Amino acid sequence: MDFSTLRNLISRYCAGEENWVDSRTVYIGHKEPPPGAEAYIPQRFPDNRIVSSKYTFWNFIPKNLFEQFRRIANFYFLIIFLVQLIIDTPTSPITSGLPLFFVITVTAIKQGYEDWLRHKADNAINQCPVHVIQHGNVVRKQSRKLRVGDIVRVKEDESFPCDLILLSTSRDDGTCFVTTASLDGESSHKTYYAVQDTKAFNTEEAIDTIHATIECEQPQPDLYKFVGRINIYLARDEPVARPLGSENLLLRGATLKNTEYIYAVAIYTGMETKMALNYQSKSQKRSAVEKSMNSYLIVYLCILIGKALINTILKYVWQADPNRDEPWYNERTESERQRHILIRAFTDFLAFMVLFNYIIPVSMYVTVEMQKFLGSYFITWDDDMFDEELDTGALVNTSDLNEELGQVEYVFTDKTGTLTENNMEFIECCVDGHVYVPHAICNGQVMAAAAGIDMIDSSPGAESREHEELFFRAVCLCHTVQVKEEETVDGIKRGIHQGKATSFYISSSPDEVALVEGMKRLGFTYLRLKDSHMEILNREDEIERFELLEVLNFDSVRRRMSVIVRSNTGEYYLFCKGADSAIFPRIVSGKVDEVRARVEHNAVEGLRTLCVAYKKLSHIEYEEVCHLLSSAKLALQDRDKKLSEAYDTIERDFILLGATAVEDRLQDKAADTIESLHKAGMKVWVLTGDKMETAAATCYASKLFRRSTQILELTTKRTEEQSLHDVLHDLSRTVLRQHGSMIRDTFSGLSNEFQDYGLIIDGATLSAVLKPAPEGGGGASGGNYKEIFLEICRNCSAVLCCRMAPLQKAQIVKLIKASKEHPITLAVGDGANDVSMILEAHVGIGIMGKEGRQAARNSDYAIPKFKHLKKMLLVHGHYYYIRIAELVQYFFYKNVCFIFPQFLYQFFCGFSQQPLYDTAYLTLYNISFTSLPILLYSLIEQHINMDILKKDPSLYRDIAKNSLLRWPIFIYWTFLGVFDAVVFFFGAFFLFDNTTFTSNGQMFGNWTFGTLVFTVLVFTVTLKLALDTHYWTWINHFVIWGSLLFYVIFSLLWGGIIWPFLNYQRMYYVFMQMLSSGPAWLSIILLIMVSLLPDVVKKVLCRALWPTTTERIQTKRACLTAEQSTIFMLSQTSSSISF
């Protein structure tokens, strides 16, 4: 072994070495390289088994229990249950154990069932048959047995079983067509390329003779990025190295189309495929309501500890008197006397904790989960959010954030495909200042009347004519459009014109299709790409052939793409098209001013513009370009960086030809939706990669900016004239001049009293604003720019961020999230470039658009169109929030009512830990007697009709900033619970005092007293919910009155029958005896009325003196209903009189 081989081995195996971390070597067909070529290092890779399930049969119980007991409430009840088992406590372990068991079991069954479905889906995928080439023969295997290095044959319409490198296809040119709809939602056919040196090996016998290795990067989740190279060992000693990129990589889940078969080698398998890496779970988002619940839980935990501590201290104060310490009926044992007082005190403290532990509502978590899970179906069932064109409705990917939809303060939206349709229509092109407008082309569909050319300016001269034709050729050649002849693609008929099949264009970019169709109407028709030659039909009906030599693909950083072609005459051309900001700085000649003026005019009109340029290359220059590109493509490390440097060197010194303009129409009701969001008090920001003028025109059209809005610019153009520091301070003074430092949250661009401001910022300036301050910098340095920028934004009714990179979109969202107000943010977008901001925002909403389904797949909710956002927030969000807010407050309230009488009872039983309620009542209170009414309320309550919520968006402001779960309201509910508990306990106590209740003069005992308190409690908390209910249906009546009836029937059965499994029945005949007393009936009715009175009085006073907008509408609606019923009665009376 020579030193170079040893060095390679060490570099591969040493931890932390870049080569080992970043690359892998795959041996095609598991063949070792020739002797002396390189060391054969067998590597272990996972098999092709996909595992989306969370549990196995063996680890389900321990793993699920571990996850459930990580929740603080479950863990707390487990501790209480264990304490009840270990020490002598006043209540049975069943009282804590049964509710806990119920909660754990229900959750485990739900999660187990979901995981079983995942197992089932995994098995279906893992057992699919695949065809592998072994020793020149086709062998059938299960998908899970596939290994890295296996050569696979895939037929048309089959899905790829793992990530593959394309070796050869049934086509002579080594291309194949693939749809990636299941990965990114793009249904267009994409072209992939076999390695040039292997494309001839297209039979089983030939492909088995390939001797090659592949070096590539380790698996990573980016679908659009791949770096590798293939070393092919031919007859000579040195292997031939060829670059591999994303155009050679076939991804698992994609489907082969319009190609009979392909041969490819498995490179990433199982959980290392890009699809599997993309489906890994996202970070958990928590709603503001959940955070409030946890805060309240801590408060109630402190109250519980305080209660137990007070009772423990008072018990020992009470027992300081020897006569009270050991009365004759409760003498202590010898072991109890000898126990240390601290141990006794601690045991008593734990016993009191157990007695009062029901103040912490464990069943609330189950009810909240059920409410979120079941409530999410109302979004998916909503017919108003169903789109017939896409044949799909709204989707809920996570139900944990339903109520957060009612708390949104900032909406960040993409422009293209979100506010606009992403349905491109070619409008015009400009060549050397001459404008050409075809009649009617719409996204690849040629209208019947669209014939001829409308020339707006005067006809060009001979030299301009040559430029014009070169421009048309450039647009026809500089693209990645595919031509299809078929009538049917994926079951959709396309290209049918006048009853016969014609060719049509498809591309991953709607802009490109519109441009090529536009050129077709202007006389230059792109025909096909055949044998690396692009064919064009010119105006004279002659076919021109250009050899396609290189494609410099578009990327969002360069914002341009180029092709290098060779004409029939042997001339080399580099054609480039891209954004004006990416083209103009690279122009050396051409009519720049005329074209720039037209581009700016079109941008103001809201059109998407692209500039087209070219340069001729000599043969020597072309050879230099080839060498530059090939060396960059062969690099394994930093290939993207080297390619971008190569592109930068190649794409310069252009001659400007002209520009194109394409219209992207505004989506239906987009303007109405944005206006409604503004009225609801939300700030709307548009984050787009488009140029400023185009984006600003869209903002005006969508009513984000109004004609009265004063536009403030924070752009590169302005920061070149002034320093960033001066510009920021000027803008800050402008927005704060009129109304001091008041934040305009409450106005949101609607009040006529204040000037509206709209801010426009571009990506370059944003980078400067967000740049961290240099160390040792002063107060005026970059460190303060963020705060000044945020202050300006807070005082603007709308903000437009243009020329944004995807990462910058996420940075903006993160910046607002982290500001001192900590507002709730929502991001909405439709493309892969929006995923980062969707994941960053509190709530992410994906639009099922034409840029693929990646945004919808990574979002919390997905909707068909932007207009559906209005109902999603103003109706569903509003309802979800008020429902869950009532649920949380009500649960704490009813548990205070439940356990505070138990605390008061200790003062009357010598702090002996005697329970006030029977074990059955303790156990079933939260599970059965009071759980269903609040669950149903939290699912169907509508305090205002949904039509009113849509018509009056300002109602959204009533619930903003978590207003129903603020501390004053929480304290009110808690004190209301304490008041009701005092009424229950002392009302029953004074009615009992020195009074005989039964007809035979018999006194009631402590269990009768406890049952009377419990009966008043159950009726009061249920009727309290009935008073809060505004939307009554037969289901409400059935559940509320049914719960009360169930309590009565259960009590009659529990106390009326001798149960054989009970050692003693302290409740036997207690309930019947209580109901046989007239005073007991009177006290129940009286105490319920007294308990409910303060809440009724408070509601009446608040509605009369300080009504909210919601309460005004409720009152107005009630008056209208009463008026209508009176008119109806009067009309009925008059008709009967006349009769």
| CB within 8 Å of 1025: residues ≥ 6 apart | 890, 933, 934, 937, 1040
**d(C-alpha 25, C-alpha 40), whole Å:** 9
- DSSP lists the bridge partners of residue 757 as 710
Neighbours of 1045 (CB within 10 A): 11
**d(C-alpha 393, C-alpha 856), whole Å:** 12
Measured N-to-C along each axis, helices 60-68 and 94-126 cross at an angle, to the nearest 10 degrees, of 130
Contact 594, 657 (CB under 8 A): no
**d(C-alpha 1051, C-alpha 968), whole Å:** 37
127 SS3 class: coil
**d(C-alpha 460, C-alpha 437), whole Å:** 15
**d(C-alpha 916, C-alpha 654), whole Å:** 90
**d(C-alpha 573, C-alpha 617), whole Å:** 6
Contact 72, 296 (CB under 8 A): no
Contact 457, 435 (CB under 8 A): yes
Contact 220, 277 (CB under 8 A): yes
Contact 183, 275 (CB under 8 A): yes
Contact 220, 129 (CB under 8 A): no
**d(C-alpha 806, C-alpha 818), whole Å:** 19
- DSSP lists the bridge partners of residue 526 as 536
Of the candidates 615, 619, 760, 698, the residue with the CA atom closest to the CA atom of residue 415? 698
**d(C-alpha 578, C-alpha 563), whole Å:** 12
**d(C-alpha 1114, C-alpha 2), whole Å:** 88
| CB within 8 Å of 287: residues ≥ 6 apart | 400, 401, 403, 404, 407, 842
Contact 1082, 1090 (CB under 8 A): no
- 414 catalytic? Reply is yes
| CB within 8 Å of 470: residues ≥ 6 apart | 614, 657
In 3-state terms, the chain is what percent helix, strand and coil (to 5)?
Answer: 50, 20, 30
Instruction: From residue 33, give the alpha-carbon distance in Å to each of 25, 27, 214, 228.
Output: 11, 8, 11, 18
Tokens of 457: 């300016």
Q: Please, how many CA atoms are within 13 Å of residue 844, restricted to the half-sphere of its CB?
A: 30
Torsion, CA 255, CA 257, CA 260, CA 262, rounded to 10: -40
Q: What is the pairing mode between strands 410-413 and 825-829?
A: parallel
- Which amino acid type is present at position 280? Q
Contact 985, 897 (CB under 8 A): no
Residue of 208, 414, 580, 860 with catalytic role: 414
| CB within 8 Å of 1106: residues ≥ 6 apart | none
Residue with tokens 């040559």: 466
681 conformational bin, left if phi > 0, alpha if psi -120 to 50, beta if neither: left
- DSSP lists the bridge partners of residue 429 as 436, 660
Contact 740, 708 (CB under 8 A): no
- E strands, 667-777, in order: 683-687, 710-714, 757-762
Contact 680, 874 (CB under 8 A): yes
**d(C-alpha 916, C-alpha 1020), whole Å:** 18
State the catalytic residues: 414
